[in-house]
């Protein structure tokens, strides 16, 4: 319901908001106390009824359980919100108000969410599943921690999924998502330009698979990035057992496919705040400098908490293509407060962060009890080289 269109431009938003806030403080009680208004609540919103930071003007919003026609309102001897707002403002007619108003339907009155309380014997029956965030679905706004894969060379015969780790930007402003080689570069078999899709193909329903029976159709619907570069994994071979330090790859995001505008500020568990200083250890006392409590958001186990328990790990890791030997890795165990393991299959590619939301490592492998991660600086150095970038900034 528009009363006075275009009374304020974007430039006067702050002043306009202040005036609305003052108006609300003065008049909200009177509006809510008047049973004829049938208001549930009143507040300040956007005329679009959308996000508070969109381009439409601020307005006074009245909340009602159900919107009624003017005829119904008249028949019940109720007041239009516009008329009531004008009346408390002492301006006579709604058109004389110097702000816009809107009415939003709530469906019911607001109620406090009741705490769950049941007899002890019914414990476990009523609480529902543990709270969780589904990281396996299709996301309209792309963020770290969600399922992705490279479907080339396998789809539709086999399905796969790993995790989108984090985002970096090069000096030219190009933005890349980062994950493992074995998630988005198919253990060295991928080609530059391969499509990266979200969600991973393993997370598609049968109906979705039926709608996208070919790679071309899958790419058309779910592509979010194109593979730009990866660091080769060197496998055991008859001549030698080469050492690896990283399992990583980068793909340039396709900003016209999904919403990438939020990637720097909607991190799961918190927004990234840069790169952690590498762990240092006092040579004599063994005291470690750096936060060893770490966290990750991954496609399979979601948000988990762990502890870096080992440095400089040397071990063989089993891939589909064979064994690969790694050194200088971080060993991570689930913290005592974490339910279950720190990671499972499908979590590869997850960014590992500390309590300051600084990037610590890139998750890539695990055993029953332990998780392995590449320390983050070698990952960034290797990807800079592979991408031909002077430097990469974590965003």
Partner 1 sequence: MSTIANYGEVQRALQTDTEQILAQIPVSPVTLSMPMDGAGPRICASVKRDDTSRVPASVNVVLDGNPVEIVVEAVGDYQDFKAL
Q: List residues near partner 1 by CB under 8 A.
A: 162, 180, 182, 243, 247, 281-286, 288, 292, 308-320, 327-328, 331, 343-348, 363-372
User: CA torsion sign, 366 to 370 to 376 to 377?
Assistant: negative
Instruction: Pick the closer one to partner 1 by CB: 148 or 317.
Output: 317
In the complex, what is the shortest distance from the CB of residue 179 to partner 1, in angstroms, rounded to a whole number?
Answer: 12
The answer for residues whose C-beta is within 8 angstroms of residue 17's C-beta and 6 or more apart is 44, 58
In the complex, what is the shortest distance from the CB of residue 265 to partner 1, in angstroms, rounded to a whole number?
Answer: 28
Contact 196, 230 (CB under 8 A): no
In the complex, what is the shortest distance from the CB of residue 72 to partner 1, in angstroms, rounded to a whole number?
Answer: 59
In the complex, what is the shortest distance from the CB of residue 349 to partner 1, in angstroms, rounded to a whole number?
Answer: 9
In the complex, what is the shortest distance from the CB of residue 273 to partner 1, in angstroms, rounded to a whole number?
Answer: 24
Instruction: Pick the closer one to partner 1 by CB: 61 or 150.
Output: 150
Instruction: Pick the closer one to partner 1 by CB: 135 or 263.
Output: 135
Instruction: Pick the closer one to partner 1 by CB: 128 or 336.
Output: 336
In the complex, what is the shortest distance from the CB of residue 373 to partner 1, in angstroms, rounded to a whole number?
Answer: 11
d(CA 69, CA 72): 5
Instruction: Pick the closer one to partner 1 by CB: 99 or 230.
Output: 230
Tell me the two tokens of residue 210: 């039926």
Cα 381–230–303 angle (5° rounding)?
80
d(CA 149, CA 209): 15
The answer for residues whose C-beta is within 8 angstroms of residue 201's C-beta and 6 or more apart is 149, 151, 154, 155, 156, 159, 160, 161, 209, 218
**Token match 């919003």: residue?**
61
In the complex, what is the shortest distance from the CB of residue 187 to partner 1, in angstroms, rounded to a whole number?
Answer: 8
d(CA 383, CA 381): 6
**Token match 């330090």: residue?**
245
Instruction: Pick the closer one to partner 1 by CB: 149 or 370.
Output: 370
Instruction: Pick the closer one to partner 1 by CB: 220 or 369.
Output: 369
């Amino acid at each position: 319901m528009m009363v006075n269109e275009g009374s304020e431009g974007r430039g006067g938003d702050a002043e306009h908001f202040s005036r609305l806030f003052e108006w609300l403080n003065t008049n909200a009680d009177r509006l809510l106390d008047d049973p004829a208004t049938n208001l549930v609540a009143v507040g300040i919103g956007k005329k679009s009824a959308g996000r508070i930071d969109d381009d439409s003007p601020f307005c006074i919003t009245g909340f009602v359980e159900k919107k009624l026609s003017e005829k119904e309102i008249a028949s019940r001897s109720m007041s239009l919100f516009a008329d009531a707002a004008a009346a408390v403002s002492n301006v006579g007619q709604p058109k004389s108000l110097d702000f816009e108003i809107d009415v939003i339907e709530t469906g019911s009155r607001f109620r406090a969410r009741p705490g769950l309380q049941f007899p002890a014997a019914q414990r476990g029956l009523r609480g529902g599943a543990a709270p969780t965030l589904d990281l396996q679905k299709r996301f309209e706004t792309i963020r770290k921690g969600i399922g992705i894969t490279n479907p080339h060379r396998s789809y539709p015969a086999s399905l796969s999924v790993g995790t989108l780790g984090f985002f970096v930007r090069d000096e030219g402003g190009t933005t890349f998502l980062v994950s493992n080689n074995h998630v988005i570069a198919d253990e060295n078999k991928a080609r530059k330009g391969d499509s990266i899709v979200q969600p991973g193909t393993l997370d598609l329903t049968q109906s979705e698979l039926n709608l996208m029976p070919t790679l071309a159709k899958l790419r058309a619907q779910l592509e979010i990035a194109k593979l730009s570069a990866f660091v080769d994994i060197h496998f055991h071979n008859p001549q030698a057992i080469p050492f690896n330090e990283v399992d990583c790859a980068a793909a340039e995001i396709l900003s016209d496919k999904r919403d990438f505008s939020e990637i720097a500020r909607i991190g799961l568990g918190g927004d990234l705040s840069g790169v952690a200083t590498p762990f240092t250890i006092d040579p004599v006392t063994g005291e470690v400098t750096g936060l060893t409590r770490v966290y990750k958001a991954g496609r399979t186990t979601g948000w988990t908490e762990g502890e870096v328990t080992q440095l400089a790990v040397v071990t063989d890791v089993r891939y589909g293509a064979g064994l690969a030997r790694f050194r200088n890795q971080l060993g991570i165990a689930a913290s005592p407060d974490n339910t279950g393991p720190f990671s499972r299959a499908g979590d590869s590619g997850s960014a590992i962060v500390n309590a300051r939301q600084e990037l610590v490592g890139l998750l890539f492998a695990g055993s029953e009890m332990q998780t392995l991660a590449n320390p983050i600086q070698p990952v960034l150095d290797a990807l800079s080289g592979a991408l031909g970038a002077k430097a990469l900034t974590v965003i």
